[in-house]
Amino acid sequence: MKYSAQDKLTRNAQRVLRDFVVAMRDQLAESPFAKITVNDLCNEANYPRSTFYNYFDDKFDLLNYCWSQAIALIGLDQVHATAGETVLLETFDRLYVLLTTHQDYVNQVLANNNYAFLRANLYEYMVTIAQKMFHDAFACESDLPIEMSVEHCFDTITTVLNWIFVKQHPTTLAQAHRYLAELYGFDLASIPEA
């Protein structure tokens, strides 16, 4: 994206970014990402192509910005835990609530899109962000590289979310926690209540 998170955005810039996020959101519910064009996004948002390119390099850049907005929406950047298990549960809970709250939209997007592509794109984005955010939580756990520990954490999270939301096995949050504990290898009773 051509603006960094540290940039102070004008109201106009905020509006333009919001409109393009909504355009991408609406387009993903109607069409496969591969078929969405910059023209489609500009028509949906009601801006010329030049405005799009003032903010984004391409539609992938906009998709990454959409992921950043979803992360901000659920407050994932505010997860400050001291242990990997706590990070895993807190991160999972926020994603679970987001997906549960927007289940109909998620189903529309999945019906129109290649799940493997969206999952890989989101996973890559989230792991990159998590490497920075969760450095301390994974730094003292073992001799494993932090990057590997964070990837393992997100592999576990996405496995359970995939089971619940993509393969459509409705599961309570408590049951999902039991799945996470079993897959990740920790005792739920050892995790302090939030």
pLDDT at position 90 = 87
- For residues 107 and 53, the model is more confident at 53
Residues 6+ apart with CB under 8 A from 183: 156, 159, 160
Query: Tens digit of pLDDT for each residue in 136-145?
Result: 666 655 677 8
Task: Look over the chain and give the mean of its residue pLDDT values, rounded to a whole number.
Answer: 86
pLDDT at position 185 = 85
Is the per-residue pLDDT at 48 higher than 90?
yes
pLDDT at position 177 = 94
Which two tokens mark 179? 């799945």
pLDDT at position 82 = 57
Is the per-residue pLDDT at 22 higher than 70?
yes
Q: Give the helix ranges, DSSP H, for 31-145.
A: 38-45, 49-55, 59-73, 84-101, 103-112, 115-133, 135-139
CA-closest candidate to residue 102, choices 74, 72, 131: 74
Query: Tens digit of pLDDT for each residue in 143-193?
Result: 778 788 888 888 898 899 989 988 889 999 999 999 999 998 888 777 666
For residues 66 and 25, the answer to whether their CB atoms sit within 8 Å is yes
Task: Tell me the pLDDT band of 122, cut-offs 50, 70 and 90.
Answer: confident
Query: Tens digit of pLDDT for each residue in 69-114?
Result: 988 888 877 776 556 678 888 889 999 999 999 999 988 888 888 7
